[in-house]
Structure formats: C-alpha cells, structure tokens
Structure 1
Amino acid sequence: MSLNGIDVASYQAGMNVGEVMGDFVLVKATEGVDYTNPEFSRHAKQTLSAGKKLGVYHFIRNDSDIKQQADYFLTVVKPYIGKAMLVLDFENTSGSTIQNQAGVGLAKQWLDYVYQKTGVRSLLYTGISCENSLDWSALVNANYGLWIAQYNNYNVVNGYQPRDLYGSLKHWKTAVMFQYTSTGQLPEWNGNLDFDVFYGDKAAWDKYAKATKVPETDNPTMNPSEPSGAKWVKENKSYMLKTAVKLRTAPATDASVIAVLPAGSTVKTDQAIIQGGYRWVRQPRSNGYGYLATGPASNTLEYVETSASHAYYEVISGDSWWSIAQQYNTDMNKLAKMNGKTIETEIYPGDKLLVK
C-alpha cells in the first residue's frame, strides 16, 4: 500500500491544494528564524479540510541558532502538531551551505530538540547524493526516518507515476517517502509540481504524525524501577523466536537480478519472501520494486529457531526503539517485537516487546 501526493511552498500561491489530485500534501512552513511561507496556513487548512494527510517542513540554515530555528518552526506549526508529519529539509542553497558533515550534526540537534519538545520524531528530507556522501549513522541509530529525493531527468511526468530509485541508499535501510520528480503535471494546476510517494497507508502516516513519548515539559514523575518513557503490562508467554537466516552458499544469478549476497551473509526472516524458487529480500528502493536475490530457498538458507518461555511487555504508551534500549541499558538488537522483528523501529501502543 502506498500514497501519492505533492509538496508545496510559496511557488504554489493561488493553488487550492485540497482540490488537487492526491492523498497528501507536504507544506513548507518556515526557514531559518525569520521566514514563514505566506501560503502555509492556507495550504495546511485546505489539506485537512479536504481529508488529505498533512506534512509540514522546516528548511534548515547554518547562519542562525539551531534551537531558535526549531522553536520558530514549532511556534508556526503548533496548531498541527499531532496531526501533521514533521520534516526537516536539509539542502544546499546559495549563502547557506548545509550539506556537509558539520551540517549533519546541526540536523541531529534540530531533530532531537523537536522530539524533546513534541514527542514526535520528525523525518529528514535530503537528496540521494547527500545521503550517500555523508555519514548519517547518528540519525539512523536515533531512528529518524528518511524522505529521499532523486530526479533522473527533468522530463514532464503526467500524473503520479512512482518509479524505482536509481542506485541505492547507503545508510538507511529504507526510505519512508520518495520525491521522484520536480516536473510533475496534474490537470488542476498549470505548472510543475514535486511528486512524492509515501510507502504506507493512512494509518502509517498518522503514526509518524503522533507523539511516541511524553514531551519533556509534561513528563510525569515515574517509578524509577520502571522504564521512564513508556508504560507496560507484563505477561509471560511461550513462543517461537525466529532469528536471522544464514546463507550456506553464494547463489547463482543472472543479469535480471539486482544483486546477490555472499555466503555467510545474514538477512532477517521477516524481510524476505520466496518467489519463483528464489529467496528475495526487499531493497530500500521504491515500494517493493527492488529485491535482493539470496538464492534458491531449497539449498542456500539455514533457519535457526529457539523456543522458550519469555517475559514480554505490552506497550500502553508508545516510545522509540532506541529509547527503550537506552532505558534497559541494552543493545537495540536485543529488543524484539513478538512477531520476530529485530530491526530498529518505532513501537506503538498495543505492540508486544521482548527484552532478550
């Protein structure tokens, strides 16, 4: 399931975004500490009134204090916090060069501050060359999602036509959203538009918009013997925990296959499917377009399963995977959902979490 939509700024003045085809609209809100998009309020209201999903973003600059920029953004978008996806736009512009390794630290500072103030974990927007060239491990480890941009050319794209990402991501396992052209055309607007695809349904969008922890200004006093960011119901159940799959041999392939894993590589069982006699693992590409061939399922995979009685916890109020690991003073890989996942992810009310 995926959603199609556009992102807009002051360039789309006069557009009624609620009447434009699509499932969502991402609206530029602020830039630096002194610029608010004059179309922001109108476009945000039109989006929600039309029943579309809303995203709001801040364009970061390196010529002003990062926390002041975050506070400025939060003041402008305050009516939409909890309703809209929050995004930090990390780009290269004249007079404000931000796409360098020092800029990554500034981005992390902004994202952390907004998370502390709102409980909402924002996305980062940037281009694929920037994602490939800088070290983003601090953001990946802190579980901030990625909205990736890449244009293969500037030919007109009539109507939503999500495509595969050319190349691959270096740091994130997958992107939340993909901006694949800046020359999109829709009948409701006489001009170019940015087209985006979101890899999820409306419920998934809402999870990105909602708080996953209590904002720091509202934190209640917690029992120090309990995790400080989430509430739990402890239960004991016996279940089968699946671990990673190890390849016995490197598989044969042909030119139609994207890539193969060498012998000894591991993949997570929940990230793979079997089709046409081959094991395929999803690539961080475009809504399931790209898969990694790991060889015939019959002779190259080794499953390891263990069965034991474990204590697990049902989450009452959500928190981040990273935060729970910090609270338990353990590695993120030692946390697992009851469905066997051990990837870095958000957790939400109703999830069942095992601390291995």
Structure 2
Amino acid sequence: MSMNGIDISNWQNGINLDAVPYDFIIAKATQGKTYVSPDCARQVEQARARGKLFGVYHYIDGSGAIGEADFFIDNIKNWVGEGMLCLDWESNQNSAWDNEDYLRQVAQRVIDRTGIPPVIYVQQSRMAQVKPIADALNCALWIAQYANMNATGYQDAPWNEGAYSCAIRQYSSCGRLSGYSGNLDLNKAYMDAAAWKKYANPSGGASAPSPAPSKPSASAPSGSTLDLVYHIVTNDINGDARRDYCGSRYDDVQGFINDTHDASASTLAKWIRAGKYGNNPVRQTVIEACGGKYREAQDIINGKGKQTTYVVKSGDTLSGIAAKFGTTYQAIAAKNGISNPNLIYPGQVLKI
C-alpha cells in the first residue's frame, strides 16, 4: 500500500489545496529559532478540512538544538498527535551540517516534549550517517533522491525504488499537478492512512490539550519593530513567550523576521541602505539571527558584488546552492554547461 503527496512551504504561499490531487501534505512550519512559515496554518487547516492526512516539518539551521526543537513544538502544539512531525536535515542554511549528533539532540528533544519520534528528511547521499540515529530513536526516514530535474506527475515506481528502505521517498522537486501552476515536491509514502496516523500518534491516545491562547498584553511594548526583534533574538524569546512580549505588535514583529529570512541579498542590501536594520552590532545580530544573508548583502554594499563562484562541498545539491545565492538551479546549470543538474561533484567550481 502506498500514497501520493506533496511537501510545501511558503514558496507555495496561497496554493489552493482543494484544487490539487494528493493523499497527504507535509507543510513547513518553522526554521531555526525565529522563522515561522506565514502560510503554514492556512495550508494545514485547508488540508484537514478536506479530510486529508498532514504533517508539519521543522528546517534545522544549527542555531541551538534544544531551542530549535522547542521553537518547533511551541508553534505546532495544536497539531501534536494529529499530524506527522518531521525534521528537515539539509546542508543549505544549516551551520550544524556534518554534525549528526546535533540532529540527534533535536530529535531527542522533540521526543522528550511530545513522546513522538519525528520522521527525519535527508538526501539519500547522507542516509548512511543519519540512519543509525533514526534507528536508535525509532524515527522513520524520509529520503530525497531524484533521477533528474524533468517535470513529472506522480510516479508509481520512482527511479531507484527498492534500493533502500524508507517510510517516504521524495523523488522530484519539479512536480506538476493539476490545480497549481508551479513546481511541487512529489513524494511517495510507503504506508496506508492507518500507518500514517500511527506515525502521528504512536500511542493512539487523545492529543495533549493545548494551553489557552495567550492574550496580547494590554499595552504593546514601546520601541521600534527593530528594537523588539533585537530584544527577541538576543534573549531567545520564542513561542508563547514571544506572543506575550509582543502583544498586539506580534504580527508586525514576526513579519519583520520572516521578511528578513526570505529576502535576497540584493533586497537586504537595499533595506540596509535605507536604514531598516540600523547600525552594527544590531544590524548583523538581527539579520543573522533571522537567517538572513548578511555577508552577501554587505558585500554588495561594500562594492564587492555577489560572490561569482562557489566550490561544491560534499552533500551539496544544485537547488540548495541556488537557494543560497537567490537564483535558480536552471540558471546555474545553464551558466556552467551542466546537462544533468543532479550531477555535481565536491571541488567543482561553479559560476553563480
């Protein structure tokens, strides 16, 4: 028995999940200790209203294992026991990459907080390093491996199927499905609906009740939005504590954080010149804590321009490199004469 599904993030903001065919979705919820995907709640609730299976994932960025896990759980606690919990372990925007013990700490903290072993997403080339941790913690694996970057619909038998065991296989980032005009990540889950629900709620018991939503403080804190963000990131204020601190200004503050995380280096440079981030140390602290491209933006401001070459490291993917530089894998492939974007090699120098 198997099922077809998609994983989505704010790159698919506004996607109409009533129009797209799928058995399940897995939506990005959080990243690091500051970023909350703006469209996650809408995406999840639309799928749930349709009676579909769902999961949520946290993108690990290396900013502190316990803090990352807590930030994830604090932001998705209403879905604990209802949807599959997943951890995304990738090289891009992850300072802990190559340190699988960090991944173990995050996964263990999720288990300690929820009693639920998270499903771990990783590229197939890193599976050997991650599998022992997954086995030790009873975590299932969600493996990414692509045959090519060609557009495709759902596949009954993805390339290399059966070469290794996993709970979910992501086999394309160029999926095309009716009801949505852009690319989608396509997945095959090797389970039925009952098994999915077992991953989401291994004990089969009722979900732990969520605390009552925090009420905004009667008077919002003073200071600029930048002041509030700086206070939050330097004092590691997350979850309900962040909502309590920000009060009625929470949406503005979280929007500032999300915009900083998502912005290209050139956009950040423009905002820096306009004074949005003030001066250092505030500027660097805020941008880096929000996952922004501080160094690249400063290079643009200082007249160095964007980095024009990149040396491929073990575990890199062309799409991951493209995301790092605010471009597309197609553009990098064309600039470097790469006919198969799935084949790059450590030590290879790429023009960006």
In the alignment, is the contact (CA less than 8 A) between 2:19 and 2:180 conserved in 1?
A: no
Describe the SS at the equivalent of 1:88.
strand
In structure 2, runs of 5+ residues without a counterpart are 210-352
What SS class does the counterpart of residue 158 from structure 1 fall into? coil
Provide the secondary structure at the position in 1 that maps to 2:150. coil
Counterpart secondary structure, 1:87 = strand
Q: CA deviation at 1:137?
A: 1.6
Counterpart contact for 2:147–2:159, Cα < 8 Å:
no
Match of 2:173 among 178, 182, 185: 182
Q: In angstroms, what is the RMSD of aligned CA positions? A: 2.2
Of 119, 130, 151, the residue aligned with 1:156 is 151
Query: For residues 155 and 163 of structure 2, what CA distance do their matches in structure 1 show?
Result: 22
Q: TM-score, normalised by structure 2?
A: 0.56
Secondary structure of residue in 2 paired with 1:194: strand
What is the correspondence of 1:18-33 to structure 2 with a 5 Å cutoff? Answer: 18-33=18-33
Once residues 197 and 147 of structure 2 are traced to their aligned partners in structure 1, the CA distance between those partners, rounded to angstroms, is: 30
Native 8 Å contact 1:121 1:212 kept in 2 = no
Check conservation: 2:23, 2:53, Cα contact below 8 A.
yes
Kindly report which structure 2 residues correspond to 1:181-260, keeping only aligned pairs within 5 A, or say none: 181-212=172-203
Find the residue that maps to 1:86 and give its secondary structure: strand
Tell me which residue corresponds to 2:67.
68
**CA separation in 2, counterparts of 1:18 and 1:98?**
37
What is the total number of aligned residue pairs between the two structures?
208
Residue 109 (structure 2) pairs with residue 109 (structure 1): no
- The structure in which a higher percent of residues are helix is 2
Task: Classify the secondary structure of the residue corresponding to 1:93.
Answer: coil
Q: Which aligned runs of 4 or more in structure 1 are off by greater than 6 angstroms?
A: none
- Tell me which amino acid in the other structure corresponds to 2:121: Y
The question of whether the paired residues in 2 share the 8 Å contact of 1:160 and 1:184 is answered with no
Instruction: Report the CA distance between 1:176 and its aligned residue.
Output: 0.4
Q: 1:142 to 1:20 in 2, by over 3 A?
A: same
Aligned partner of residue 146 in structure 2, secondary structure: coil
1:214/1:70 Cα in 2 relative to 1: closer, same or farther (>3 Å)?
farther
Whole-angstrom CA distance in 1 between matches of 2:134 and 2:198: 19
Q: Identity of aligned pairs, percent?
A: 34
SS for the counterpart of 1:55 is: strand
Are the counterparts in 1 of residues 16 and 180 from structure 2 also a CA contact under 8 Å? no
Separation in 1 of the partners of 2:133 and 2:77?
A: 27
Q: 1:117, CA displacement in angstroms?
A: 1.1
Aligned equivalents of 2:159, 2:203: Cα separation in 1: 31
Equivalence for 1:52: 52
Q: Which residue of 2 aligns with 1:143?
A: 138
2:120 paired residue among 105, 119, 124? 124
Asked if 1 retains the 8 angstrom alpha-carbon contact of 2:134 and 2:141, the reply is no
Q: Which structure would you say has the larger Rg?
A: 1
Distance 1:203 1:167 in 2: 22
